[in-house]
Amino acid sequence: MKIQNITVLGSTGSIGMSTLDVIRRHPDRFHVFALCAHSQVDSLFAQCLEFRPEFAVVRDAQLAAQLAELCRSGGLLTEVRYGVEALIEMSAAPEVDSVMAAIVGAAGLEPTLAAARAGKKLMLANKEVLVMAGELFMHAVREHGATLLPVDSEHNAIFQSLPADFGRGLAACGVQKILLTASGGPFRNTPLADLSAVTPDAACAHPNWVMGRKISVDSATMMNKGLEVIEAHWIFAAPPEMIQVVVHPQSVIHSAVQFADGSVLAQMGNPDMRTPIAYAMAYPERIAAGVEPLDLFKIARLEFYEPDFERFRCLQLAYDVLREGGTAPAILNAANETAVAAFLAGSLPFLGIARLNEATLNALPARPEGSLEDVLAADAEARLFACQAIRENSFS
Ligand code: NAD
Ligand code: MG
């Protein structure tokens, strides 16, 4: 078996660490070529010591000097780089077989796109890439023969439930609906009046999953499910009306596909990201991921509810921008990243997130998606508008 050389974008994050845990279990299959993170030098150094990658990447020159010194003193040969250019290089390097795209947010767009353009096996967790630039990204995947494997648990479940040749069209494969499950987050049943006082820690306390803070807040607003509707649209070429969100508080069914003959195929498992990560890494084989087997007797009950679009306004906004097209999803994504960062920093109330997202969409016209530059311009414009609105305190 040829050893797979992997670049991990976002190695110090929740998905990055789960990826390294799967790699740790299979040293005969995987080798880490590059570890890329933002500013957590100490945890990146610990990862370098364990996985001995050829390269490590951090945000800037100063952090790179710190990490390089640590590597030298630890006797490591790891070469340290910094900045977006280095991320792009690590995604596209000829030695690399596969890339785990697990940076959070728009910062992942360029390196992930570079992996697609280099025709890599691309394991995609960074859903914001598809939300911002779905058309551009999917075009790059097709044009350069990249293999796109969804890591997001729902999309991984849908991928597992579809026939291998789904690329010829969902309708041609007899697909009627994609059933995208959602836990509903920590505030599914919280009285609406109490939502205005929600704190960042309460929003990040997800009932079933342990994740990074940004996606945890997105789960609490259900923006995450909205982003996933757009993600499903692009990965599976599914029109919005074919994607049905199903609230399923136990997070055991990770999503399902309904077919013309009445069959519904689903993928189930404990809520542990190492399952979809291991699936993507070993595809089409199956390998151990360190995940507890599912105990149906212990679970006993599975529930399903329709989503509440009033309570979770962000979910509605996502369907709206998907139908509108062009740069509208990129504008929503940028507004949301700005709003979530402000909420986590204590300068925007929880309910202000949806309000700010909506106001940004209302203020800025969508344009055709066009080039990467057009997408980045829409992203920058939306961030500017949202930051200003937060400073003027119009959403408190
Ligand atoms: P996280 O916050 O735990 O980790 C983010 C990683 O990205 C860190 O390693 C950080 O150093 C790196 N990073 C952040 N900004 C960067 C920048 N500007 N340049 C380079 N690196 C940067 O996030 P996470 O929960 O692991 O999520 C990562 C992505 O995966 C997100 O897009 C999220 O939506 C998606 N995802 C996560 C989960 C989950 O269970 N955590 C599930 C599905 C999808
Ligand atoms: Mg998900």
Ligand nearest to the CA of 254: 2
What are 42-97's pLDDT values in tens digits?
A: 999 999 999 999 999 999 999 999 999 999 999 999 999 999 999 999 999 999 99
With a 6 Å cutoff on the Cβ, whether 238 touches ligand 1 is: no
Contact 246, 182 (CB under 8 A): yes
With a 6 Å cutoff on the Cβ, whether 273 touches ligand 1 is: yes
Which among 7, 9, 15 is the best mutation to test ligand 1's pocket, defined by most ligand atoms within 8 Å of the CB? 15
d(C-alpha 379, C-alpha 358), whole Å: 15
pTM: 0.98
Ligand 1 centroid, distance to 126 Cα (angstroms): 7
pLDDT of residue 393: 79
What is the three-class DSSP state of 280? Answer: helix
pLDDT above 70 covers a percentage of the chain that reads 99
Ligand nearest to the CA of 276: 1
Which among 87, 104, 126, 155 is the best mutation to test ligand 1's pocket, defined by most ligand atoms within 8 Å of the CB? 104
With a 6 Å cutoff on the Cβ, whether 208 touches ligand 1 is: no
In angstroms, the Cα distances linking 172 to 130, 150, 176, 177 are: 24, 21, 10, 13
Which among 103, 214, 235 is the best mutation to test ligand 1's pocket, defined by most ligand atoms within 8 Å of the CB? 103
With a 6 Å cutoff on the Cβ, whether 38 touches ligand 1 is: yes
What are 210-244's pLDDT values in tens digits?
A: 999 999 999 999 999 999 999 999 999 999 999 99
Quick one: which of 34, 89, 92, 83 has its CA closest to 58? 83
Does residue 5 surpass a pLDDT of 70? Answer: yes
- What's the mean pLDDT when you consider all of the chain? 97
Query: Mean pLDDT over residues 5-19, rounded?
Result: 98
Quick one: which of 144, 112, 143 has its CA closest to 128? 112
With a 6 Å cutoff on the Cβ, whether 47 touches ligand 1 is: no
Structure tokens at 113: 């796109």
Structure tokens at 376: 């980045």
